C-alpha cells in the first residue's frame, strides 16, 4: 500500500515518528508521501523523508498560508531551491484553494496567484502536484480551464461534486478520498467514489486528520490506510489485494520519481 498523503511533520507525531513509520510498514504500507504546507514546513518534511527509506516529500505552499498572511508573496526561487536536485522530493504540494477558511473570499486574488505560480512551476519541472480544494470549485475550475497546460497531479481528500470530478478526470488527474469516506453519513462521497475509475484512484490517510471508521476523532496514522483500502474494496467489489495493487501502481505512475 502507498499512503499518498500523511502530514508526518505535524506536531501530533512529535517524538514518535519511528513507531508511526514502523507500524505502517508492519501492516504493509511500503511508501508514505509527506506534503508540506509552507517553506518552513518543507525543510522539516525533507529531513523526515531522508530519515526513512519508504518516506518521500512534497514541497509546496498551502492556500491557508495566504489566508493567514494576506501579504505573503511566494518567491518562486526559494521554492525551486527546496526542490531542485532533491531525490526525495517527488512533487509539489500541497497547493490549492480554500474558501472554507475565507468565506468572504478576501484572499481570492492571492490564492489564485499562489496556486497558478505553483502549477506553472510543476509544468516546467515536470513534477506532479497535490491539490487541496475546499469550497472553491468554481474558482478552481476557472483556473484549470484557463491554463494552456496543466501538470499531472492528484486531488486529495475529495469532497466536491460530480461535475467537477468529471473535469478533473478529463484533465488526467488522480483522485483520493480521506478517512471520512468510511463514516456513516457518507452517501455523497460514496457516490463520487463510484464515479471514479479505479485506474485513477490512489490511497491516502491525510494523517493526522480524518481517522477512518471506528477510529474517528483519534490521531490518524499511515497504518490506517488499510482501513480505507478495505472500505474501498467493498465499493469496487474487488479484493483488498487488488485495490492495493492497482492504487500502488497508480501512485508510482503519478509520483514517478519514487521508481
Ligand atoms: Zn493535507
**pLDDT tens sequence across 90-99:** 999 999 999 9
Q: State the distance between the two ends of the chain, measured CA to CA, in whole angstroms.
A: 15
Q: Please, which pLDDT band fits residue 207 given cuts at 50, 70 and 90?
A: very high
Summarize the confidence of residues 226-244 as an average pLDDT.
Answer: 97
Determine the structural domain holding residue 65 and report its residue range: 2-258
Say what the pLDDT of residue 254 is: 98
Check whether 138 is labelled as a binding-site residue: no
Mean residue pLDDT of the chain comes to 96
- What pLDDT score was predicted for residue 26? 98
Question: Distance between CA atoms of 176 and 53, rounded to whole angstroms?
Answer: 23
Cα torsion angle, 221, 225, 230, 231, sign:
positive
26 is in an annotated binding site: no
Name 153's bridge partners.
129
Mean pLDDT for 31-45 is: 98
CATH for 193: 3.20.20.140
Instruction: Supply the pLDDT for residue 162.
Output: 87
pLDDT of residue 129: 98
Query: Quick check: 160 pLDDT over 90?
Result: no
Q: What is the mean pLDDT of residues 123-149?
A: 95
pLDDT of residue 54: 97
Distances, alpha carbon 209 to alpha carbons 155, 163, 180, 206, 216, in Å: 16, 26, 9, 6, 9
Q: Cell numbers at residue 79, please?
A: 521554492
Residue 7 assigned to a binding site: yes
Backbone angles phi, psi at 219, to 5 degrees: -70, 120
Q: Which pLDDT score is estimated for 161?
A: 85
Distance 34 CA to ligand 1 centre (A): 9
Tell me the mean pLDDT in the region 122-148. Answer: 95
Question: Residue 221 — pLDDT band, cuts 50, 70, 90?
Answer: very high
pLDDT for position 46: 98
Does 62 count as an annotated binding residue?
no
Residue 255: the pLDDT is 98
Which residues crowd ion ligand 1, with CB under 5 Å? 94
pLDDT score at 159: 84
CA of 209 to the centre of ligand 1 (A): 8
Q: Number of structural domains, the chain?
A: 1
- Distance (Å) from CA 63 to ligand 1 centroid: 11
Amino acid at each position: 500500500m502507498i499512503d499518498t498523503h500523511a502530514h508526518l511533520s505535524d506536531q501530533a507525531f512529535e517524538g514518535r515518528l519511528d513507531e508511526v513509520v514502523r507500524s505502517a510498514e508492519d501492516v504493509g504500507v511500503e511508501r508514505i508521501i509527506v506534503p508540506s504546507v509552507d517553506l518552513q514546513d518543507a525543510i522539516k518534511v525533507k529531513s523526515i523523508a531522508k530519515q526513512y527509506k519508504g518516506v518521500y516529500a512534497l514541497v509546496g505552499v498551502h492556500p491557508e498560508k495566504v489566508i493567514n498572511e494576506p501579504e505573503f508573496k511566494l518567491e518562486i526561487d526559494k521554492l525551486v531551491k527546496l526542490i531542485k536536485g532533491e531525490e526525495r522530493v517527488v512533487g509539489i504540494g500541497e497547493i490549492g484553494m480554500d474558501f472554507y477558511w475565507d468565506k468572504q473570499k478576501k484572499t481570492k486574488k492571492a490564492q489564485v496567484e499562489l496556486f497558478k505560480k505553483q502549477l506553472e512551476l510543476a509544468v516546467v519541472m515536470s513534477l506532479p502536484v497535490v491539490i487541496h480544494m475546499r469550497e472553491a470549485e468554481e474558482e478552481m475550475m476557472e483556473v484549470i480551464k484557463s491554463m494552456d497546460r496543466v501538470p499531472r497531479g492528484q486531488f486529495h481528500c475529495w469532497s466536491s461534486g460530480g461535475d467537477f470530478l468529471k473535469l478533473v478526470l478529463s484533465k488526467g488527474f488522480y483522485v483520493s478520498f480521506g478517512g471520512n469516506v468510511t463514516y456513516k453519513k457518507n452517501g455523497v462521497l460514496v457516490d463520487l467514489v463510484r464515479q471514479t475509475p479505479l485506474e485513477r484512484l490512489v490511497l491516502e490517510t491525510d494523517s493526522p486528520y480524518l481517522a477512518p471508521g471506528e477510529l474517528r476523532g483519534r490521531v490518524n496514522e499511515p497504518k490506517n490506510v488499510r482501513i480505507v483500502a478495505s472500505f474501498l474494496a467493498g465499493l469496487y467489489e474487488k479484493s483488498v489485494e487488488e485495490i492495493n495493487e492497482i492504487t500502488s501502481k497508480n501512485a508510482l505512475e503519478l509520483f514517478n520519481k519514487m521508481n
